[in-house]
Amino acid sequence: MNAAFRRRFLAALVLGGVVLTPALGAPPPVAQSSDNSRYASIVVDASSGEVLFSRFADARRYPASITKVMTLYLVFEALESGKVKLTDNLTVSPRAASQPPSKLGLAAGQSISLDDAMKATAVRSANDMAVVLAEHIGGSEAQFTARMTAKAKELGMDHTRFTTANGLPDTRQATTARDLSILSRAVMRDYPQYYRYLGLHDWYFNGRDYRNTNGLLATGRGYDGIKTGFTNASGYNLAASSVRDGKRIITIVMGGRSTASRNAHVAELMDTGFEVQRRRGQGERIQVAQAFFEQRGYGISADPNPPVEYASASDEDGEGVGSTAVAYVAGPPPATLPTEVTPPPSARATPRASAPVQRAEARTPENLTASLNGGSSTRRSTSAAPARSTRDAARAPSGRWTVQVGAFREEAVARDWLNDVSRRFRTQFTDAQRDVQNANGWYRSRFTGMTEAAAQAACETLSERRVTCMVIRPS
């Protein structure tokens, strides 16, 4: 039933004196995301595959970090076939080390077990570890993503194409809410023994606890997986699974406006889905669950049918765990998705880490900026400091305190990250000046010219959002 027909049907019911009344205490029907061109959603009974509700479920969208579910699916497949073991040691390549945040931050040449790499990918949503896994299984990320697309077709994900293993922006990489529901069902159906990775609440590594980016896991409402995702082009995505009274429902929401609103919307859709199941269990005849959802105001607005926005920047998962504003692919998407992909070679040699480090943050991820700053008293070289923007130079500093938010091997990455943090936390850095300082080959992303109170407050806010920061006293 298309949107136009549903509107005419509802109008006819109203004119005929028939009113679809929401449950007592429920809010009146309101249009859902009619002005949000990135929005899509679907609610599915995991056991039967019945679609309880859908909204733009077949519209082309960007998966962002939900991509990592397919990456892990192929790792699970390799584990079950015996091609790899949980104890395998994987070497971080320069390409993997250079991935933008969110990341674990191991340097090129360092190693990590396959088990920990999977946990980093699932819990931390680590872009670098997703590439490490792809290279270990497929020989290269390109060969691995060809496998990902082939597997998607095999599973029935007819509108999905993968070009990255971690979901960082690429206009060629696209999917639909319906396809992601198929993937979610497949991973828990085909590899129940490994599905637990996608439901880990936290993970301890090298002296640090990492919390899952999926905040619904800790709500006590039966949520047990599976993955969040965010880029500027995709909006806030979430594939969620919940089990209540022996029944499992999968809900996919794409294009949310914030982490909080996305999570709340997923919870509302999930609760409504379980209400359908409960009423059916009590003998109530609900033949078309979509109508039940629409009585509560979900999915009754006009169909905007917009084009997909092109990706230009990543803000990984949108959970405050790190991002960058590096520009990626900006060309138009292909008219059709490929029907065939070249299978990867049988050789799976781990790439050598012989090239110089393109972008490794530090060997000790527990407090990145503290370890790089070495006590915070290092003076910068004035000859190495880049020129500030005209606006920053014209503004008189309000203090001499500094907040450092990262350190990178590439100046462009450091500057992009600084600009991105400034955009996301503009209130905290209104009167600060942005500066990238070079110290022994590390480019430090810093906000300078702050008062002590402003610097402490800003760093506290960033820490609450799990963005690494450090307050530096005047030298």
Among 170, 205, 197, 143, CA closest to 344: 143
The catalytically annotated residue of 41, 54, 93, 125 is 125
Active site residue 241: no
The catalytically annotated residue of 68, 119, 151, 227 is 68
The SS3 call for residue 133 is helix
- Separation of alpha carbons 422 and 448, rounded Å: 12
Q: Which long-range contacts (CB under 8 A, 24 or more apart) does 372-378 make?
A: 372/407, 372/442, 372/444, 373/404, 373/407, 373/444, 373/470, 373/472, 376/404, 376/470, 376/472, 376/473, 377/475, 378/439
Q: What is the DSSP string of 276-338?
A: HHHHHHTT---S-HHHHHHHTTTT-S----PPPPPP--B-GGGSSS--B------SPPPSS--
Residue 161's alpha-carbon distances to 68, 70, 141, in angstroms, are: 13, 11, 14
Q: What is the DSSP string of 415-472?
A: HHHHHHHHHHTTTTTTT-EEEEEEETTEEEEEEEEE-HHHHHHHHHHHHHTT---EEE
Q: Which amino acid is at 131?
A: V
Active site residue 65: yes
Contact 199, 340 (CB under 8 A): no
Contact 226, 241 (CB under 8 A): yes
Q: Which long-range contacts (CB under 8 A, 24 or more apart) does 161-165 make?
A: 161/337, 161/338, 162/67, 162/70, 164/67, 165/67, 165/68, 165/71, 165/130, 165/131, 165/133, 165/134, 165/141
Active site residue 68: yes
CA dihedral for 263, 266, 270, 271, sign (positive or negative)? positive
Contact 100, 326 (CB under 8 A): yes
The catalytically annotated residue of 65, 184, 241, 445 is 65
Which residues are identified as catalytic?
Answer: 65, 68, 125
